[in-house]
Amino acid sequence: MKILFFHPANYLEIGIPQGIAILSARLKQEGHTIDLFDTTFLKPEGYVHKNEDDLTVGPAIYKKTPYTLEDLVKDDPPVCLYEAFQKKIDEFDPNLIAISTMTTNHDFAIDLLKKVKFSCPVIVGGVHATISPEDVIAEKKVNMICIGEGDEALPDLCEALSKGNDYRGIKNLWVKKKDGSIIKNGLGAHVNLDELPCPDWSLFDSRHLFRPYEGQIYKGGFYISSRGCPGGCSYCVNSTLRTISKGCGAYFRYQKPQTTVKHLEELKTKYGANWLKFGDDTFLLQPTQNIFELHEKIKPLNIFFGCSVRPDTVTREKVSLAKDMGCVAMSVGIESGNEEIRRNILNRKISNRDMEGAFRIINEHDIRISSFNMIGLPEEKKGNVFETIEFNRQLKVKSANVYIIYPFPGSRIALERHIQHKDSRGRIIPMSKASRFCLSNMAPNEVEGLRKTFNLYLSLPKSLWPIIQLAEGRGKKSQMIFENLTKFAQAREG
């Protein structure tokens, strides 16, 4: 059977999605033929090539390479996305179109799907289908959705379709009948992560592997060795995912170290992977013994890697093992510099003191830290945002990612406030318009201005703060000040 995956990524948002890569490997094991429509490298019409001198908000912590991502695509002609999709469908002639979406790219995927002609069924899976199933299956062109894991459900579906068998009772699937009614099957047991094949990177454009680091170019991508997270942060979808999968087995699971290593070896041999980002929700959550075994087996592979960690999982022993096996970067969620907001609103029970301790340990091991921060939080005032900026300064963070909170469907913040995610035209409100949800005590413009200038406040001397404040606005003068301050900040970083 021929299955066409669709990865609706933003242009140049590189990184092989592990969901599709595993599902592709599973389906190939069962003898199916797989193809992919991936928008990552399809240059949209009207796209303007960015050059190195373009302004970026936020300091870059890595030395630039002479060759950039933009160089990889500079000779590519612009394409019409739906014509390219149609061409792929016509040439491959799939028996099933399988789409993977997050909330943020779901509408984009459906927009393209609506514009093309095909005669096969369509299934949508991924986190958005899992947390907003009613919305996703309501789309006319969608015949089925997958709730939660697809590792067994999709191969079962393809087997049933290819043999002409009844597929309407497959666990994890919702199936739309001809009369429009929907069969909602329950969820099956969680898969055993050690029985899954190595993700199939061969399906993807090799430019996904481009990893510039410290002036050199490496190859790699995401690898995820665990699933789930025991945390209950109120802005995250994990608590809902946990509730949905009650009765399916332990929610937080990790692979045996030998499985992880076997896959990393395969990715290194087949694709030359020498730079990885562990996409695990929180990498150091595994028991020390696991990290110890990973250390023993990963170190000889000579790979560099980055990972995300929660500060309360940081111990000297784990960080030291991580460093010694190749860890060069860690992403750590600060989220808010105000302890009360962090604890009471975000449900992250980590004190500033514990956070400082974690940063100290990571810094002592010379591992680069990127902090993750959110603003526009419920009940937040401008002064609280400055607490977050101050806390990042105090922790000597050189690279801070800052987002306006987006109350994702399924997150506690969205559920408690009955947040509507669609605008009057039925479109999912995009991340770029997150301030519209108006969760904080600040006006949307104020939140946007603070997001724009957050990294300037972080990296420039306080004597310049009154000038930075002038850059928060939206007018021409503010923009000019913003651009000049950004150039100045970049020049200071060298």
Q: Does 307 bind ligand SF4 (CB under 6 A)?
A: no
Q: How many residues does the chain have?
A: 494
- Tell me the sheet residues that pair with 123: 98, 144
Tell me the closest approach of the beta carbon of residue 306 to ligand B12, in angstroms.
11
| Contact window for ligand B12 (CB under 6 A) among 118-126, 318-326, 339-347, 469-477 | 118-126
| Contact window for ligand B12 (CB under 6 A) among 71-79, 236-244, 266-274, 468-476 | 236-244
247-282 in b/e form (b: 16+ CB < 10 A) is ebeebbebbebebbbebbbebbeebebbbbbbbbbb
Tell me the closest approach of the beta carbon of residue 231 to ligand SF4, in angstroms.
3
Q: Tell me which of 4, 22, 187, 303 binds ligand B12, using CB under 6 A.
A: 22
List Cβ<8 Å contacts ≥24 apart for 131-134. Answer: 131/103, 131/237, 131/240, 131/241, 131/244, 131/408, 131/409, 131/410, 132/103, 132/409, 132/410, 132/421, 133/174, 133/184
Q: Does 408 bind ligand B12 (CB under 6 A)?
A: yes
* Cα-Cα end-to-end distance for the chain: 54
Q: Does 282 bind ligand SF4 (CB under 6 A)?
A: yes
Q: Is 464 exposed, middle or buried, given 0-12, 13-18 or 19+ CB atoms closer than 10 A?
A: middle
Q: Tell me which of 281, 312, 380, 446 binds ligand SF4, using CB under 6 A.
A: 281
| Contact window for ligand B12 (CB under 6 A) among 41-49, 148-156, 416-424, 444-452 | 148-156
Structure tokens at 311: 């500060």
Residue 369: its H or E element: strand 368-375
Q: Does 412 bind ligand SF4 (CB under 6 A)?
A: no
Q: Tell me which of 229, 341, 369, 402 binds ligand SF4, using CB under 6 A.
A: 229
Q: Does 237 bind ligand B12 (CB under 6 A)?
A: yes
- Distance of alpha carbon 233 from alpha carbon 231, whole angstroms: 6
DSSP string, 135-179: HHHHSTT--EEE-S--TTHHHHHHHHHHHT---TT-TTEEEE-TT
Cβ-based nearer residue to ligand SF4, 209 or 413: 413
Report how many residues bind ligand B12 under the rule CB under 6 A.
38
The SS3 assignment for 368 reads strand
Q: Does 175 bind ligand SF4 (CB under 6 A)?
A: no
Residue 456 gets the label, from left (phi > 0), alpha (psi -120 to 50) or beta, of: alpha
Tell me the closest approach of the beta carbon of residue 75 to ligand B12, in angstroms.
24
Give the position of tokens 């041999």: 269
Structure tokens at 56: 């970026």
Q: Does 123 bind ligand SF4 (CB under 6 A)?
A: no
Q: Are 175 and 160 in contact (CB under 8 A)?
A: no
Tell me the closest approach of the beta carbon of residue 102 to ligand B12, in angstroms.
3
Q: Does 473 bind ligand B12 (CB under 6 A)?
A: no
Q: Tell me which of 233, 303, 307, 355 binds ligand SF4, using CB under 6 A.
A: 233
| Contact window for ligand SF4 (CB under 6 A) among 71-79, 202-210, 231-239, 485-493 | 231-239
Report the interface residues with ligand SF4, using CB under 6 A: 229, 231, 233, 236, 238, 281-282, 310
Report the interface residues with ligand B12, using CB under 6 A: 9-10, 13, 15, 17-19, 22-23, 98-100, 102-105, 123, 125-128, 131, 146, 149-151, 153-154, 222, 224, 236-238, 279, 281, 403, 408, 431
